[in-house]
Amino acid sequence: MEGHDFLVKPLLRPVVVARLIGTRTGSHNLAGLVDSGADHVLAAPWVAQDIGVTPDPNREIRLKIGGSLRWVRFADVTVQLFPPEVGLFEGGYQPELAHEWQAQVGFFTEWDSPPWNLVFGQVGFFDQLTVTFNRDSQALAITHLADFDERFPMGPAAGPPPAPRFRP
């Protein structure tokens, strides 16, 4: 990257391999970015066509992404997440290995070349699984949802109650 000679450490991205199913199973696996900063599971427009879904115009929101406002329409689909054995490079389709669930996925109405075909955000991904990142290991661990409470049985520390902002 221009002007980045001083950067020695590589950029790492948490990527998983998944496939979506609508009225038909998607033709290809997708590299999905695991993004805790995203509120939803989002997918490129072509993916909706590939899996035979028509995202609902009555379930439409506008997001600001990449400096632009983009419309996203949601559809209910099946998400298949594949284990590391189904690697990015290997391709292939082994549905018996997939962890599968139903999710509300937002499809961009227009985006010619998004940087990722699939982004896994809070609703639809982080509410289904426990995800642990560790850059030192250059890995992320995906475990069942209850794993977090099992590892950290005490809940987060409760803060003081918020100060009243107004008197009714």
Write out the residues near another protein by the rule CB under 8 A: 1-2, 4-5, 7-17, 27-31, 33, 35, 37-38, 42, 44, 46, 50, 65-67, 83-84, 88-93, 99, 112-117, 119, 135, 138-144
Query: What's the rounded Cα separation, in Å, for the pair 21 and 48?
Result: 9
Please state the closest distance from residue 110 (CB atom) to another protein, in A.
Answer: 12
* Consecutive H or E run containing 19: strand 15-21
Pairwise CA distance, residues 26 & 47, whole Å? 8
Amino acid at 110: E
Query: 């590589």: which residue's tokens?
Result: 10
CB of 164 to another protein, least distance (A): 36
Q: Which C-beta is closer to another protein: that of 58 or that of 113?
A: 113
Radius of gyration (Cα) for the chain, nearest Å? 19
Q: Residue 75 or residue 142: which is nearer to another protein going by CB?
A: 142
Cβ-based neighbour number of residue 78 at 10 Å? 17
In the complex, what is the shortest distance from the CB of residue 145 to another protein, in angstroms, rounded to a whole number? 10
> Between residues 39 and 104, which has the closer beta carbon with respect to another protein?
39
Which one-letter DSSP state was computed for residue 165?
-
In the complex, least distance from residue 12 CB atom to another protein, rounded to whole angstroms: 4
Q: Which two tokens stand for residue 152?
A: 């950290």
C-alpha closest to that of 20 among 3, 37, 45: 45
Nearer to another protein, 103 or 111 (CB): 111
Between residues 90 and 164, which has the closer beta carbon with respect to another protein? 90
Nearest approach in angstroms of CB 157 to another protein is: 28
